[in-house]
Amino acid sequence: MILPRAIRDAVVAHAREASPFECCGILVGTPHAIVTAVRAANLSESPTRFLIDPHDHIRARREARAARLEVIGFYHSHPRSDAVPSATDLAEASYAGHLYLIVGLAGDDPDVQLYRFTGSSFEAVSFRT
């Protein structure tokens, strides 16, 4: 999977701005590349949970379709932990086959990891910038 450096940096910036709460957003692209990351409001406003605003989700889907792209996944942050899916992430994931990018801010440098939700678990996805 291709994750351009500019998009990675934009998601990390969003995570830092939202801290101590989780940030969230939508990943738009093709089956092989993330083309853009669309910020979304976190209706949960929580340090341990995210809930993408449905209006932002629908808007991102419409804009993706207009650009002949697809919503291929979602992103969120873990302000005080590593970029590993939590039990809550697993319990609330509902888009099998979609990507989930997580930014962990526990260390000095942000930890950015990409996963694909299989419908029952998360599998690590390698990416290049």
Query: What does the DSSP 8-state code read for residue 42?
Result: B
CA–CA separation, 122 vs 129, rounded Å? Answer: 21
Report whether 1 contacts 127 (CB < 8 A). yes
pLDDT of the residue at 49: 92
List residues with catalytic annotation: 22
pLDDT of the residue at 45: 78
pLDDT of the residue at 47: 87
Q: CA 44 from chain center: how many Å?
A: 15
**Average pLDDT of each block of 10 consecutive residues along the chain (129 residues)?**
98 97 98 98 90 97 97 97 96 96 96 97 96
State yes or no: cis peptide before 20, omega within 30 of 0: yes
Q: Which residue ranges make up each domain of the chain?
A: 5-124
**b/e per residue 88-112 (b: at least 16 CB within 10 A):** ebeeebeeeebbbbbbbbeeeebbb
Architecture of the domain defined by 5-124: 3-Layer(aba) Sandwich (3.40)
pLDDT of the residue at 46: 81
